[in-house]
Homo-oligomer: A and B are copies of this chain.
Amino acid sequence: MFCEEKIDMKKIAVDAMGGDNAPKAIIEGVNRALAEFSDIEIQLYGDESKIKEYLTATERVSIIHTEEKINSDDEPAKAIRRKKKASMVLGANAVKEGTADAVISAGNTGALLAAGLFVVGRIKGIDRPGLMSTLPTLDGKGYDMLDLGANAENTPKHLHQYAILGSFYAKNVRDIAKPRVGLLNNGTEATKGDPLHKEAYALLAEDASLNFVGNVEARDLMNGVADVVVSDGFTGNAVLKTMEGTALNIMGGLKSSIKSGGLKAKLGAFLLKDSLYQLKDTMDYSSAGGAVLFGLKAPIVKCHGSSDAQAVYYTIRQVRTMLETNVVGQLVETFTPKD
């Protein structure tokens, strides 16, 4: 007789209709994840007939049919209020009602943030959940940065909370024993910054539970100066978008100068293909998963709008680890006021 082990099944709600490549890329990612992980159960929210076109998995998967969906240009808060049957909203509701443990969507970011905040809800004691991603470094190790723009304004206390949130994530999901926390500022010296960043610096330096390494500058982020980078949402958003814009434009510029460079350039590019792909891999951080709206009562994770099946698979893997390590449960424990 074989040993029957009790498996802690992780129930993940997936918005099948969000993103540029939905539902195909979403469902293909789900197929792969279900084949690989025997301890997950996927709930697919969206158009049943379209989902079925791509769904090959037959076990631990269910379809919750709906025809409504949130578009990328919908006004977030309004969409959440009015489109009660949208695939994303139904997913968030499932978490609220306890029938799912987490939500993944590649759809409208603002709407997912709104669904996270208003449907799933904040952890008590966390004032302003932050948007967090694992971003690339040249050595391939990456760093977790938050807030990347869930908030337009933050207080020093929020930034302190982001340091705790990021550290928990790096420890649990990325397996870094003592994550180095850096504060994104306009210089590395301790005296730098506006009042917000000076006060945040003081709070981080005082907190002995953190491995605070001081201020870090935006130009050094890719060099791995910290495992967790704390930022206010306005600056974090600008930095993330600058990285994306600069990287895309350099790669695009290279492509067009190869195109206009004739046969010689084309041959050169052909010979250099492996090196260029290696560089692209370094810059690509989709293997770390999606952006977490961190500080909510459950993992709410945004895949990039242009995610392919592989990126969706990586995000499911990330959410699985978050559930397995109970990182959100630990946060609840930490932030709940003790009597």
Interface residues of A (CB under 8 A from B): 138, 149, 152-153, 184, 186, 192-195, 197, 217-223, 233-235, 237-239, 241-254, 257-258, 260-261, 264-265, 267-276, 278-279, 282-283
Contacts and interface: CB of A to CB of B under 8 A. Distances in A.
Contact of A244 (B219, B239, B252, B261): B219
Contact of A186 (B152, B220, B273): B152
A253 B136 CA distance: 12
Interface residues of A, dominant DSSP: helix
Copies of this chain present in the complex amount to: 2
B261 A245 contact: no
Contact of A272 (B186, B268, B274): B268
A308 to B, nearest CB: 20
Contacts of A194: 152-153, 234
A152 B192 contact: yes
Across chains A and B, which 9 residue pairs bring their CB atoms closest together, nearest first? A268-B271, A268-B272, A219-B245, A219-B241, A218-B241, A242-B242, A257-B275, A246-B246, A218-B242
Given A238-B218, A243-B246, A272-B261, A252 B138 contact: yes
A241 B223 CA distance: 13
Given A152-B186, A237-B186, A268-B272, A250 B250 contact: yes
A235 B196 CA distance: 13
A233 B237 CA distance: 15
A309 to B, nearest CB: 25
Contacts of A272: 258, 261, 265, 268-269, 272
Contacts of A186: 149, 152, 233-234, 237-238
Given A153-B194, A241-B219, A138 B275 contact: no
14 contacts: A149-B186, A153-B195, A193-B234, A194-B234, A218-B239, A219-B244, A220-B245, A221-B245, A239-B242, A246-B250, A250-B283, A254-B279, A260-B275, A265-B274
A243 B197 CA distance: 21
A138 B222 CA distance: 23
A234 B215 CA distance: 14
Nearest to A259: B275
A198 to B, nearest CB: 9
A275 B264 CA distance: 10
A265 to B, nearest CB: 5
Nearest to A265: B275
Nearest to A258: B275
A195 B223 CA distance: 33
A250 B248 CA distance: 11
Contacts of A275: 254, 257-258, 260-261, 265, 268-269
Contacts of A233: 186
Contacts of A197: 152, 234
A265 B274 CA distance: 8
Contacts of A246: 222, 242-243, 246-247, 250
Contacts of A279: 250, 253-254, 257
Given A235-B235, A257-B276, A260-B275, 20 more contacts: A138-B253, A152-B194, A186-B234, A218-B239, A218-B241, A219-B242, A219-B248, A223-B245, A223-B249, A242-B246, A246-B247, A253-B282, A253-B283, A257-B282, A265-B272, A265-B275, A267-B271, A268-B268, A269-B275, A271-B271
